[in-house]
Amino acid sequence: MIPSGGFVAALAGFDQMTIARLKWLLAERTPEQAFAMATGALAVSKPVASLFSRYPDLAARWRAEGKRHTPERSWQRCVDAGVAVVMPGDTQFPAQLLDDPRCPAALFVRGDLDVLDARRVGIVGTRNATQRGRETASEFGYELAVAGVVVVSGLARGIDGAAHRGALAVEGSRPVAIVGNGPDRPYPRQHADLWAAVAERGALISEWPPGTQPDAFRFPLRNRILAALVEVVVVVESRERGGSLITAREAAERGVEVLAIPGSLHSRASAGTNQLLRDGATPATDVTDVLVALGLDQRRAGRARFDSRPRPRDEELSLLEACRGEPRTIEGLLLLFDMSIAETAMGLARLERGGWLRETGGWFEAVDQWADLA
Amino acid sequence: MFASISSAVLFGAEGQPVNVEVHVDKGLPAFNVVGLPDESVRESRDRVRAAVMSSGASWPRHRITVNLAPSRGRKTGSGLDLAIAIGVLVAGGSIPIESVRNLAFIGELGLDGSLRPVPGVAPMAGALGDAELVVPIGSALEARVVALGRTRPAAHLREVIEALMGDLPWPDREPEPLPVADEPVSDLSEVRGQPLARRALEIAAAGAHHMLLIGPPGAGKTMLATRLRGLLPLLGRKQALEATMVHSAAGAPLPPSGLVQRAPFRAPHHSSSAAALIGGGSHSLRPGEISLAHGGVLFLDEIAEFAPKVLNGLRQPLEDGTVRIDRSRMHAELPANVLLVGAMNPCPCGGGAPGACQCGDAALNRYVQRISGPLLDRFDLRVNVNRPAVDDLLDDQPGESTAVVAARVAAARDLAWMRQGGVNSELVPAHLEQFAPLESSARLLVRHEIEHDRLSGRGYHRVRRVARTIADLRGEPSEVVLEQDVAMALRMRASIGRPSAIGRVA
Ligand SMILES: [Zn+2]
């Protein structure tokens, strides 16, 4: 006997399957019946009949897909990847999603959904983040985890990963990730360690079954789930039309408070967050602002991280200070100080070695103590 | 009657002596050329005949057979016209055979008997030993640069015939000045700001380090690359001759002196074929851009846009300093000792300050892969070039001139020669400890990079070679490479694409 989760996993993996179609298939039918309908083995329900009549090729397509994605194989994939299939009728299904206008048809979960019983904050932002932005995300992730808050993010490159890394640095923390592809396929691949850690300690949630590719269209969809699952969303950095603005909008529509971190007017990475602030989002200048938004006691337990870096002095300190406000090139620094290029290069090399500066593409950014998690 | 006339043909950038053997015997009037002639040699039959008639000489009314010896190898080019014409006239009895002894003839004939220059006279002259050389006046300068014997510039076949018959003295016309090659060299003082990139140019010139300039459009990568030429030393006698041969063979303009002495600068377009860039081609074996850049700079702008096959073809020549071309029965070697300068955008969108890049991961990876691997390894210097700061553009203070920097470059090259007998880019890992030892604080800096996975083994050697050059440029003969030299070298290893979470390995 294959559990009904195998039938859902198979259906969700079909080519040209959408969340709406999956819901039509499952409407007043068991997963077994839905699979039989979709593959032509059972008379179709009214919504599915109308679907097939509108897309004449779909029935044949899905009949073929049924041979590729058999319930047996799909279930085996779930078992192999340690993925549970959770549907709205199940007791573990997150209550926050049940009355959502766009409730998922099923969730594919690694880890433990009970972590959603705690206080929950989403941290989102651009993949093309600045060093400063990633550090802020790590700092917030860390401090929120210290306060016992569950950090929810998307495990993407940039802000997402930094937030998770910050949260995971706190012993006993249980972060949650909402991902846009199969929960068994770490994406981006550099985040494989983060995926494993989140699944192991908290929960890693996807609307798509194991094996699903990271297609671009799936990412905006997962933002609505993230928005629905949290109490507060913090946008750390976002482009003028970034995906995290979609999350912010999804959150606002659901009455979830949106906080944004103010950024430099010159930084593209802060164009979206600054716009959010103009549109009425609450500015977050440190974690206290988030804790206040959650209604939590903002006096934080003194678990501050120890900064072990040797303090720079003299010219090195001046160079460091200059790179704190905004990233600088060596040319830009030479204009600011009366130093030779050799002296400047030497100062920068020592600051890099001391862990105070980081260089990318010829730009130097000051690194704060959160850099190792960012 | 029989005559044998010395001439030469071009193969690659090498001249090969050819004997033009002409038989005139009784039989029906005919004119045949044998000895693997190609299309252009066959065409020369008609030119030779018309030119001889136009010169007032009589065309033998007999069977004429021309053999090009040795018969091995494909004869190319119209430079044999003059020798064939003289051979026909000697064999036909119009010109005494003693008069052509120890003479060689190179040149194309016009139908009116005029003598026209051909490409490759320099290497051809070089192949003819100490023979007295009759050449078109347009080719006389390059012939004189190379020829061991006397050169006899002439404008018309008639002049040559008259001199050989003793009717008139050799005309010995003044060689025609060569069309001027792009002589004016742009000066470094015209570059505003860009202190890091200027420094990189100086280091590249001093250590002969291949250099990759990485920066957004409008950052002035081409402007910088063209300034490198003036920083390089003049070519030595041997290299100048090699470069002249290549230019002559390719029909490229030569400087007024006829000798290529200033470092060449070649900037082929990214649509160039492998044959255009490296040389070869179906049968003409024209030298490629890499040989035309011999002793100077080969600049590949938009290097990531070159076809991968073309870039791959650069590897062997860069390694050996020579292009080897093998054809069924011929081998040619073309000199190709160049300073390679590549320029590219940091990513497809052009990048910029941190957070400005809008490229997707897939597009970025595809882009990075176009210029990764073995070719990327050849670049000792990888330099981020940013658009100059506005303050720099407004600043009227001109930067250092080419002459000032070139003097430092020359001094640094001398130091390297005295120390290890070569340029620093040729320092092999085994010699780094001997010729480029690090002071202890410099060692700490490098070790930190390695420990943080930001320096690979190859990158380590690159940094040390470059730091050696930076130390040499300080001007004070210093055995030991200092921390400041390494710190500067670390600024010359930009990465392409997005750095990974751990930083970068270069
Ligand atoms: Zn980009």
Given B196, B444, B486, which is nearest A341 (Cβ)?
B196
In contact, A206 and A219? CB cutoff 8 Å: no
Total residues belonging to chain A: 374
Mean pLDDT score, A143-154? 94
Nearest-CA distance B184 → chain A (Å): 29
pLDDT of residue A83: 96
Minimum CA–CA partner of B356 in chain A? A268
Nearest-CA distance A360 → chain B (Å): 7
Q: How far apart are CA B421 and CA B434, in angstroms?
A: 13
CATH code of the domain covering residue B65 = 3.30.230.10
pLDDT of residue A320: 92
Q: Is residue B127 part of a domain?
A: yes
Kindly state the percentage of chain B with pLDDT values over 90.
Answer: 45
- Say whether both B26 and B155 belong to one domain: yes
Residue ending a domain, among B122, B150, B165, is B165
Lowest model confidence (mean pLDDT) among A196-200, B313-317, B447-451 = B447-451
Fold of A110-294: Rossmann fold (3.40.50)
Nearest-CA distance B356 → chain A (Å): 6
In contact, B299 and B265? CB cutoff 8 Å: yes
Does residue B74 carry a pLDDT above 70? Answer: no
- Say whether both B360 and B414 belong to one domain: yes
Q: How confident is the model at residue A95 (pLDDT cuts 50, 70, 90)?
A: confident
Minimum CA–CA partner of A129 in chain B? B355
pLDDT of residue B502: 35
Residues of chain B in contact with residue A337, where contact means CB-CB under 8 angstroms, are none
A29 or B388, which is more confident? Answer: A29
Given B357, B388, B500, which is nearest A128 (Cβ)?
B357
pLDDT of residue B506: 45
Positive/negative CA dihedral, A130, A135, A136, A142? positive
Q: How far apart are CA A342 and CA B486, in angstroms?
A: 10
The residue of A356, A359, A364, A365 whose CB has the most chain B CBs within 10 angstroms, and thus the best one to mutate to test that interface, is A359
pLDDT digits (tens, 9 = 90+) for B332-382: 789 999 999 999 998 888 877 777 788 888 888 888 888 767 888 889 999
- Say whether both B293 and B400 belong to one domain: yes
Interface residues of B toward A, Cβ cutoff 8 Å, are 193-196, 199, 214, 346, 351, 353-358, 361, 384, 386, 388-389, 391-392, 444-445, 448, 483-484, 486-488, 490-491, 494-495, 499-501, 503-504
Q: Is residue B484 part of a domain?
A: yes
Does residue B4 carry a pLDDT above 50? Answer: yes
In contact, B231 and B406? CB cutoff 8 Å: yes
pLDDT of residue B178: 59
Does residue A5 carry a pLDDT above 70? Answer: yes
Mean pLDDT score, B85-104? 92
Three-state secondary structure string covering B65-108: EEEEECCCCCECCCCCHHHHHHHHHHHCCCCCHHHHCCEEECCE
pLDDT digits (tens, 9 = 90+) for A15-30: 999 888 998 899 889 9
Q: How far apart are CA B109 and CA B152, in angstroms?
A: 16
What value does the mean pLDDT of chain B take?
A: 86
Q: How far apart are CA B198 and CA A62, in angstroms?
A: 63
Nearest-CA distance B308 → chain A (Å): 24
pLDDT of residue B394: 60
Does residue B41 carry a pLDDT above 70? Answer: no
Q: Which residues 236-255 on chain A approach chain B with CB closer than 8 angstroms?
A: 237, 239
According to DSSP, the residues that pair with B331 across neighbouring strands are B326
- Say whether both B334 and B261 belong to one domain: yes
Calculate the alpha carbon distances from B314 to A168, B61, B277, B297 in Å: 48, 54, 8, 14
Does residue A157 carry a pLDDT above 60? Answer: yes
Give me the residue spans of the domains in chain A. 4-80, 110-294, 315-366
Mean pLDDT score, A233-249? 90
Q: Contact B195/A341, CB-based, under 8 Å?
A: yes
Q: How far is the CA of B495 from the centre of ligand 1 (A)?
A: 13
Q: Contact A237/B355, CB-based, under 8 Å?
A: yes
Helix/strand/coil percent split, chain B, to 5 = 40, 20, 40
Q: How confident is the model at residue A39 (pLDDT cuts 50, 70, 90)?
A: very high
Q: How confident is the model at residue B180 (pLDDT cuts 50, 70, 90)?
A: low
pLDDT digits (tens, 9 = 90+) for B304-323: 999 988 998 898 999 899 99
Q: What is the CATH number of domain A315-366?
A: 1.10.10.10
Asked if omega into B70 is within 30° of 0 (cis), the reply is: yes
- Say whether both B368 and B473 belong to one domain: yes
pLDDT digits (tens, 9 = 90+) for A105-122: 999 999 999 999 899 999
Given A269, A331, A360, which is nearest B389 (Cβ)?
A331
10 Å CB burial of residue B159 (0-12, 13-18, 19+) is: buried
A177 CB within 8 Å of a chain B CB? no
Location of structure tokens 């690659």: B12
According to DSSP, the residues that pair with B298 across neighbouring strands are B266, B340
Kindly state the percentage of chain A with pLDDT values over 90.
Answer: 58
Does residue B133 carry a pLDDT above 60? Answer: yes
Nearest to B471 by CA among B459, B462, B479: B479
B42 or B51, which is more confident? Answer: B51
pLDDT digits (tens, 9 = 90+) for A212-223: 998 888 888 899
Q: How confident is the model at residue B286 (pLDDT cuts 50, 70, 90)?
A: confident
Q: How far is the CA of B497 from the centre of ligand 1 (A)?
A: 8
- Say whether both B120 and B198 belong to one domain: no
Q: How confident is the model at residue B329 (pLDDT cuts 50, 70, 90)?
A: low
pLDDT digits (tens, 9 = 90+) for A124-141: 999 989 888 999 999 999
- Say whether both B64 and B149 belong to one domain: yes
**Domain span including residue B297:** 188-501
- Say whether both B158 and B202 belong to one domain: no
Helix axes A4-12, A71-81, angle to 10 degrees: 100
Q: How far apart are CA B312 and CA B332, in angstroms?
A: 20
The residue of B448, B449, B482 whose CB has the most chain A CBs within 10 angstroms, and thus the best one to mutate to test that interface, is B448
Q: Going by C-beta distance under 8 Å and a sequence separation of 6 or more, which residues neighbour residue A105?
A: A8, A12, A19, A22, A23, A26, A87, A88, A207
- Say whether both B50 and B155 belong to one domain: yes
- Say whether both B255 and B386 belong to one domain: yes
- Say whether both B57 and B95 belong to one domain: yes
Q: Contact A353/B445, CB-based, under 8 Å?
A: yes
- Say whether both B340 and B383 belong to one domain: yes
pLDDT of residue B176: 67
Total residues belonging to chain B: 506
Helices vs strands, H then E, count in chain A? 17, 12
A315-366 has the same fold as A110-294:
no
Q: Contact B484/A345, CB-based, under 8 Å?
A: yes
Q: Which ranges in B373-456 belong to alpha helices (H)?
A: 374-377, 390-394, 402-420, 429-435, 440-451
Minimum CA–CA partner of A161 in chain B? B501
Helix axes B195-207, B457-473, angle to 10 degrees: 90
Q: Give this prediction's pTM.
A: 0.69
Structural domain total, chain B = 2
Residues of chain B in contact with residue A131, where contact means CB-CB under 8 angstroms, are 354
pLDDT digits (tens, 9 = 90+) for A319-357: 998 998 788 999 889 888 888 999 999 999 999 888 889
A315 CB within 8 Å of a chain B CB? no
pLDDT of residue A304: 54
Q: Contact B195/A334, CB-based, under 8 Å?
A: yes
Residues of chain B in contact with residue A358, where contact means CB-CB under 8 angstroms, are 503
Does residue B500 carry a pLDDT above 50? Answer: no
Residues of chain A in contact with residue B505, where contact means CB-CB under 8 angstroms, are none
Residues, CB-to-ion distance under 5 Å, ligand 1: B 347, 349, 351, 357, 359
Q: Going by C-beta distance under 8 Å and a sequence separation of 6 or more, which residues neighbour residue B20?
A: B4, B5, B6, B7, B66, B67, B68, B80, B83, B84, B87
Q: Which DSSP letter does residue B37 get?
A: B
Q: How far apart are CA B371 and CA B304, in angstroms?
A: 6
CATH code of the domain covering residue B202 = 3.40.50.300
Asked if omega into A188 is within 30° of 0 (cis), the reply is: yes
Q: Which of A298-312, B3-17, B86-100, B385-399 has the highest mean pLDDT?
A: B86-100
Q: Which letter, b or e, does each residue of A175-198 get, where b requires 16 or more Cβ atoms within 10 Å of its Cβ?
A: bbbbbbbbbbbbbbeebeebbebb
Q: How confident is the model at residue B224 (pLDDT cuts 50, 70, 90)?
A: very high
DSSP conformation letters of A92-146: TS-HHHHT-TT--S-EEEEE-GGGGGS-EEEEE--SS--HHHHHHHHHHHHHHHH
The residue of A240, A343, A346 whose CB has the most chain B CBs within 10 angstroms, and thus the best one to mutate to test that interface, is A346
